[in-house]
Structure 1
Amino acid sequence: MAAAAAVGGGRRRGGRREMRRIEDATSRQVTFSKRRKGLLKKASELSVLCDAEVALLVFSPRGRFFHFASAPDLEDTIDRYISHTEEAAANKKPGELTAHKMKIQAETIATEIGTVEAYTRKMQGEDLESCSLQELNDLEMQLEKSLSSIRLHKAS
């Protein structure tokens, strides 16, 4: 996690170093170790100085797990986080749909539009070759109902 964002010793821009991956594996590992220790120390300091509940999870590039928790039990903090995110999701307004939900909704609407367009074409006498006998009978009944309704409206 931290290794990917480590300072790569690149060119300076405006007094800051360009952030990029460190190519040399040994240098990358040394930087990860130092930065990890510093990050864990900062998390501890934030917890003590500000009386904040802090949890930090770090997975090394090799898959080793490092963590810090200011609460006596890291799982309690994780449970609190999960509860908070579930509450936040429940409190979202309908207009705050995620991109994924919006895509699914758009696909559903597109399917419904296609179905309505196909039905409309069939009601107009187009694309009837693909209809079963039952569908043709249903279309005939619907057209007869529509025709009766039109005649009643016309007579009024």
Structure 2
Amino acid sequence: MARGKVQMRRIENPVHRQVTFCKRRSGLLKKAKELSVLCDAEIGLIIFSAHGKLYELATNGMQGLLEKYMKSARCSVEKHADENHVLESKMEVNMLKNEIDVLQKGLRYMFEGGAGKMSLDELRILENNLEVWMYHIRSAKMDIMAQEIQLLKNKEGILKAANKCLQEQMEMQYGAVNTDQTMANIPYSLTIQNEIYQY
């Protein structure tokens, strides 16, 4: 009499469930031992029952098998990570090559006037790149102008200090006389120096 097909779902009757567990567990352990002997395979099998009882089978010691498994799994993960890194690098290289091609076409377009040689997408990419470059150029220009303004402000401060120093020297040298008389009595060279420092 042939056995019927067993449905793969949880057995509700606890007695039938325990009997099935014991039979199938012993069958699984027997098959694992046979596979180990027939094929010279290293096998490790761990089973926990519903009550938490441990059943295990290890052909060459469970600790050695677990260490071998961990080492193999780690190598597999590292190999997978290396493959992903290589794939990402290749994708990045291809993307950069495409960008270089588009930029070279853009340069040819700008210098040779070959408008018919570029597609609409390539022209858009070139336009975006030009906008980015213009932004960087403007930023650099603004930085340089800000530095020059700061240098001019510093120079202005130095000239004002020198002018003030000269005025104090003139006051000390000629005394507290009327300004019109002072200007008339000041030598020509000092007047020119004062005018230079005021600018």
Scaled by the length of structure 1, the TM-score of the pair is: 0.51
Structure with the largest fraction of helix:
2
Match of 1:54 in 2: 43
- Whole-Å separation in 2 of the counterparts to 1:147 and 1:47: 69
Pairwise mapping of residues 126-141 of structure 1 onto structure 2 (< 5 A)? none
Match of 1:24 in 2: 13
Unaligned runs of 5+ in 1: 1-11, 96-145
Residue 16 of structure 1 and its aligned partner are, at CA, apart by 3.2
- Whole-Å separation in 1 of the counterparts to 2:14 and 2:39: 37
After superposing on structure 2, the runs of 4+ consecutive aligned residues of structure 1 that deviate more than 6 Å are none
Match of 2:104 in 1: none
Residue 84 of structure 1 and its aligned partner are, at CA, apart by 0.3
1:84 maps to amino acid: S
Residue 36 of structure 1 and its aligned partner are, at CA, apart by 0.4
Match of 1:94 in 2: 84
Residue 24 of structure 1 and its aligned partner are, at CA, apart by 0.2
Structure 1 pair 152/60, CA: closer, same or farther in 2 (3 Å)?
same
Question: Number of residue pairs matched?
Answer: 89
Structure with the largest fraction of strand:
1
Q: Of the two structures, which has the highest relative contact order with CA contacts closer than 8 Å and spacing of 6 or more?
A: 1
1:56 maps to amino acid: L
Residue 149 of structure 1 and its aligned partner are, at CA, apart by 1.5
Residue 78 of structure 1 and its aligned partner are, at CA, apart by 0.7
- Whole-Å separation in 2 of the counterparts to 1:43 and 1:35: 12
Structure 1 pair 152/39, CA: closer, same or farther in 2 (3 Å)?
same
Residue 18 of structure 1 and its aligned partner are, at CA, apart by 1.9
Aligned sequence identity (%): 40
